[in-house]
Amino acid sequence: MNNGFVRVAAAIPDLRVADCRYNVSCISNLVHQADSEKVQVVCFPELSITAYTCADLFLQQQLLNDALLGLSDLQMLSFTVPVAIVVGLPLRIKHQLFNVAVVLQGGHVLGVVPKTHLPNQNEYYEKRWFASANDTDVSEIEINKELVPFGTNLIFSDGKFSFGIEICEDLWVPIPPSTQHCLHGAEIVFNLSASNELIGKNNYRCQLVEQQSARCNAAYVYASAGSGESTTDMVFSGDGLIAENGKIIATSERFSFESQLIISDVDVERLVSERIRNNNFHRDCSERVYRIVSLEQAHYRHFELKRIIDRHPFVPPVSNRDESCFEIFSIQVGGLAKRWKHTAAETIVLGISGGLDSTLALMVCVKAADKLGFDRKRIIGITMPGFGTTDRTYQNALNLMKSLGITLKEISIKHACIQHFKDINHDPEKHDITFENTQARERTQILMDMANQHNGLVVGTGDLSELALGWATYNGDQMSMYGVNSGIPKTLVRWLVDWSANQVDNNSTAFLRDIINTPVSPELLPADEYGNIAQKTEDVIGPYELHDFFLYYFVRFGFSKAKILFLAKQAFQGYYDEKSIEKWLDIFLKRFFSQQFKRSCMPDGPKVGSINLSPRGDWRMPSDAVSFYNLPKADKEFK
């Protein structure tokens, strides 16, 4: 495999009905094209050597002989290319005729898989011509003087990835054969199909492919008969689909009159990771025995990925962003509303800095109040200017609180911090970690004490990205009574604030827009000579879009540093050079391990997506764990 990826293809040849020689020529051309594209397995439609719509011609001996000759030609072709070929044809075995898929590689027929479920609901009655796999106990057949495995219990594997095969209608039954294939080790399923077109059928077919790939934590490659089939009573569109774990990643052009090759790269390592985490995904303990058919490993070649790696995996796609933001926001609001109601708190207390995180938390508090029918004045927003507070963030904080109609309080932390510096004998001109954390802890003390005064609940504003990096002051902004943003990564915070800007009045919208455009900063160091933010978080720890990318693949899939680096280079090509990506990845890994102690005692907060760092369920990591990615070389080698 190439960094865990396997390149697969669904091929849609422009066939002629019952013209095996022509069809084999078309198939051969697509095989050569697949070889030039470094495809590792290519799948063709059902009965592709003869075409699917031959009807009673399937009972003609000449057509069956021509199909076998065509298979022999493709077997010879497989000597010359490393691609594994999956092709369909009618095959007579003793006194029965079967609709089969044949796997070819290295000049050999590796295995033959018969169709199990034969449709009988339209004018092409397959049961008129073919027997079901259930109608035979044959397990081995002879093709071109070679004994070949025959059956639906075949898994094809080279030791690095495995695939199984089902044919068309097999997918449409309550328990598809591919379910068993995957439970017995197949990460990829190939479906040779001939699905005709009807109004609305395409969407349903896509959903079937997506759902089966999701249920099986698998990749699903679907190749359906094209427009070369007979149109006597039906039309075929040549639907080619490649799905991975519930998401279609490549499709064909339907109703095309040209041969097509639909190629994509399947991340087998990602699928394996999903299965390891899925405690319900285990081998079926039935008596059925699967047989492993060996593929050659010599066909592995390096290739540049054809699929696009999303730079922002936490951000919903544009097509459903509004719907997703509404759902995410509703989860946050629902969690806070329940906690507010359960604690019977009179007020909600939170610090408002004029930055993105506190703004999102404030919007959640406002909507929670509205949902419960509470007066917004029960929300106490406190702005606490310090040594690094700029006029821009200060004014945005004040203006936003006023426009939303909450209770506004302003408490400067400067004098309290100066007194604290005197108490601990710290030089206030020494702008070190003590200087910064004193401010963060003073703000938290104010919030906690104000909550005591007003029978309140302190709402935390820190986000998921900050938790991952430990970018929070222990017992400062790391602590609250409920963290509404704890499941929201930084790249998503911006989109949620942008979305919420469309849900409020025009005055509030204007302030929200300016907050969105403000650089991310804790504002714990003095502003520059022009009064602008001097302490920019991303200048210190690196771009949040990179850290969120690293977080997603490290926690969600447990990928190695090498795999994450490979994916990041693909995703951020043209945005960051390789040296920069590796530098920030090292920082992410170092901080993620060293800062676990802050996550071990993090407050409650609502889980929003597939990644959460709560120690109570989603991420259980010892605080003393060694960062195996940042060990000195000698330690790595146990010297």
Predicted confidence (pLDDT) per residue in 413-424, tens digit: 999 999 999 999
Query: Are 157 and 201 in the same domain?
Result: yes
Identify the CA nearest to 582 among candidates 516, 616, 630, 619.
Answer: 630
Residue 289, pLDDT above cutoff 60: yes
Helix (H, G, I), strand (E, B) or coil at 354: coil
pLDDT at 535: 60
**CB–CB of 472/478 below 8 Å?**
yes
User: Domain range holding 491?
Assistant: 318-541
| Mean pLDDT of the 94-101 span | 96
491 belongs to a structural domain: yes
Of the pLDDT bands very low, low, confident and very high (cuts 50, 70, 90), residue 530 is: low
303 belongs to a structural domain: no
286 belongs to a structural domain: yes
Query: Are 269 and 343 in the same domain?
Result: no
Q: What is the pTM of this model?
A: 0.89
Q: How far apart are CA 506 and CA 565, in angstroms?
A: 43
547 belongs to a structural domain: no
Query: Are 476 and 436 in the same domain?
Result: yes
Domain boundary residue among 512, 541, 570?
Answer: 541
CATH number of the domain within which 524 lies: 3.40.50.620
Residue 168, pLDDT above cutoff 50: yes
Residue 461, pLDDT above cutoff 80: yes
For 44-65, write each residue's pLDDT tens digit.
999 999 999 999 999 999 999 9
**CB–CB of 186/130 below 8 Å?**
no
Question: Could you tell me which residues come within 8 angstroms of residue 479 by beta carbon, excluding any fewer than 6 positions away?
Answer: 444, 460, 603
For 102-119, write each residue's pLDDT tens digit.
999 999 999 999 999 998
Residue 284, pLDDT above cutoff 70: no
pLDDT at 304: 85
CA-based R_g, the chain, Å: 31
Query: Are 440 and 372 in the same domain?
Result: yes
Query: Are 441 and 399 in the same domain?
Result: yes
Residue 322, pLDDT above cutoff 80: yes
Look at 21-35, 152-166, 537-551 and tell me which has the smallest mean pLDDT. 537-551
Token pair belonging to 498? 């942008």
pLDDT at 533: 59
| Mean pLDDT of the 237-260 span | 94
Domain boundary residue among 294, 309, 339?
Answer: 294
In percent, the amount of the chain with pLDDT more than 90 equals 80
Average pLDDT, the chain: 92
Of the pLDDT bands very low, low, confident and very high (cuts 50, 70, 90), residue 262 is: very high
Query: Are 403 and 496 in the same domain?
Result: yes
150 belongs to a structural domain: yes
| Mean pLDDT of the 91-109 span | 96
For 230-247, write each residue's pLDDT tens digit.
898 889 999 999 999 999
Query: Would the CA dihedral through 607, 610, 613, 619 be positive or negative?
Result: positive
| Mean pLDDT of the 166-176 span | 94
Query: Are 249 and 347 in the same domain?
Result: no
Q: Is 560 exposed, middle or buried (0-12, 13-18, 19+ CB in 10 A)?
A: middle
Query: Are 245 and 388 in the same domain?
Result: no
Task: Give the full edge-to-edge strand order of the sheet including 456-460.
Answer: 407-410, 379-383, 347-351, 456-460, 482-483
Token pair belonging to 47? 């009965």
Query: Are 281 and 339 in the same domain?
Result: no
For 587-637, write each residue's pLDDT tens digit.
999 999 999 999 999 999 999 999 999 999 889 999 999 887 766 554 444
| Mean pLDDT of the 382-408 span | 92
- H-run or E-run covering 165: strand 162-167
pLDDT at 637: 40
Residue 516, pLDDT above cutoff 90: no
Instruction: Point out the residues that are catalytic.
Output: 46, 115, 168
48 belongs to a structural domain: yes
595 belongs to a structural domain: no
CATH number of the domain within which 59 lies: 3.60.110.10
Q: Which residue has the tokens 């044959």?
A: 138
pLDDT at 639: 33
| Mean pLDDT of the 133-155 span | 94
| Mean pLDDT of the 85-99 span | 96
Q: Is 83 exposed, middle or buried (0-12, 13-18, 19+ CB in 10 A)?
A: buried
Residue 521, pLDDT above cutoff 80: no
pLDDT at 574: 94
Beta strands, E only, 476-597: 482-483
Which of residues 540 and 57 earns the better pLDDT score? 57
How many domains, in total, are found in the chain?
A: 2
Q: How far apart are CA 278 and CA 342, in angstroms?
A: 33
Of the pLDDT bands very low, low, confident and very high (cuts 50, 70, 90), residue 529 is: low
pLDDT at 634: 47
Residue 287, pLDDT above cutoff 70: no
Query: Are 98 and 216 in the same domain?
Result: yes
pLDDT at 388: 85
pLDDT at 638: 35
Query: Are 332 and 281 in the same domain?
Result: no
Query: Are 513 and 446 in the same domain?
Result: yes
In percent, the amount of the chain with pLDDT more than 70 equals 93
For 210-230, write each residue's pLDDT tens digit.
999 999 999 999 999 998 998
Residue 120, pLDDT above cutoff 90: no
580 belongs to a structural domain: no
Query: Would the CA dihedral through 480, 481, 484, 487 be positive or negative?
Result: positive
- H-run or E-run covering 636: helix 633-636
For 474-493, write each residue's pLDDT tens digit.
999 999 999 999 999 999 99
Residue 449, pLDDT above cutoff 50: yes
| Mean pLDDT of the 518-537 span | 66
Domain boundary residue among 526, 541, 556?
Answer: 541
For 71-88, write each residue's pLDDT tens digit.
999 999 999 999 999 999
Residue 296, pLDDT above cutoff 60: yes
What's 75-97 look like in SS3?
HHHCCCCCCEEEEEEEEEECCEE
Cα 172–Cα 173–Cα 175 angle in degrees, nearest 5: 125
For 187-199, write each residue's pLDDT tens digit.
999 999 999 999 9
pLDDT at 393: 87
Q: What share of the chain is helix, strand, coil (3-state, %, to 5)?
A: 40, 20, 40
